[in-house]
Amino acid sequence: MDKAGLWWFIAAMLRRIYDWCIDAAHKPYALWVMGMVSFAESSFFPVPPDVMLIPMSLARPERAWLYAALCTVTSVLGGVVGYAIGSLLYDSVGHYVIQFYGYGDKVEAFRAGYAEWGAWIILLKGLTPIPYKLVTITAGFADFNFWQFIGLSVIARGGRFFVVAILLNRYGVWIRETIEKRLGLWVGIGVAVLVLGFVVAFRLF
């Protein structure tokens, strides 16, 4: 398959995913799927809940607040699992996840960073595209205060998801029209932002 054919295949696949999420916004199972994705992303899953949050909010802007609240709650609950992995299961599960994302040689730097800047790490990185599972697992591994971790996670994740909800609730129709005109371009930008999050995480952790 040449480059043009590969790009066509990727664009078609992304279009199907987007259309599925738009259609899913009107289905009773949509909230369950979004909640599971958001929950899993905070502990081990590589795909952020934005892949469903954004299309579903575009399909039903009036429910953007509900979607943001669901993502916040399930993300924090998933973060508790990530924290437990880092605190109780680091030598097995946690170590595997950290190695999978290429941060195995930064373990001691994680611990030292949380000892000095733990609250800022959770707040700032929870608001960015940086994979949140890296924050939750390392917080547990570093024995960061659990209840403070919960509070900061609510602020960080809620802030991130509700900013999306505000924009999509207010400008959803215009944003949807703009995205659908050049869906491939905007999805490509989204993927680039996600990859950038991993790169930044590697540089800063």
Looking at the structure of the chain, the number of domains it has is 1
The angle at the Cα of 179, spanning 29 to 25, to the nearest 5 degrees, equals 10
In a domain? residue 14: yes
In a domain? residue 109: yes
Domain region containing 193: 3-39+49-204
Q: CA-CA distance, 130 to 115, in Å (whole number)?
A: 20
104 secondary structure, DSSP code: G
pTM of the predicted model over 0.95: no
Total length of the chain = 205
Identify the pLDDT of residue 34: 87
Instruction: Taking the CA atoms of 132, 136, 137 and 143 in sequence, report the sign of the dihedral they define.
Output: positive
Mean pLDDT by 10 residues, the chain (205 residues): 54 67 76 88 79 83 90 94 84 68 63 74 72 81 88 91 85 65 59 54 50
In a domain? residue 63: yes
In a domain? residue 172: yes
Identify the pLDDT of residue 93: 72
In a domain? residue 87: yes
Identify the pLDDT of residue 78: 93
Identify the pLDDT of residue 72: 94
In a domain? residue 44: no
Identify the pLDDT of residue 51: 79
In a domain? residue 181: yes
- The residues, ordered by sequence, that sit 6+ positions from 164 with a Cβ below 8 Å of its Cβ are 50, 53, 54, 57, 64, 68
